[in-house]
A = this chain, B = another copy of it.
């Protein structure tokens, strides 16, 4: 299923930037970064729970927030993009 993960952090502090990098590092293992703080990940139920647990441990609950949007398996018609493109689709394979 497609899980959209959005992340809010004050990156004015070095600690905030470190947390952002750590969140991104976890997310890119499962999908792609479509915007600065928006990740699209293709996960099964177990991966979803595991990633949520990992990200919860990284963020500072007092100042940061994470949101998870569960878009299911038929997500192609549920997403629209306008403007500059970043990265590749989460389910797209790169042949090098």
Number of contacting residues on A, CB 8 A? 35
Cα separation A73 to B25 with both chains bound (whole Å): 33
Cβ–Cβ contact A61 & B36, under 8 A? no
Knowing A61-B83, A65-B85, say if A37 contacts B34 (CB, 8 Å): no
In the complex, which residues of chain B have a beta carbon less than 8 angstroms from the beta carbon of A85?
Answer: 65
Cβ–Cβ contact B71 & A78, under 8 A? yes
Task: Beyond the given A65-B82, A68-B82, please list 16 additional residue pairs across the A-B interface where CB-CB is below 8 A.
Answer: A6-B6, A6-B34, A6-B35, A8-B35, A35-B65, A37-B38, A55-B82, A56-B82, A60-B83, A61-B83, A64-B83, A64-B84, A67-B81, A68-B79, A69-B78, A69-B79
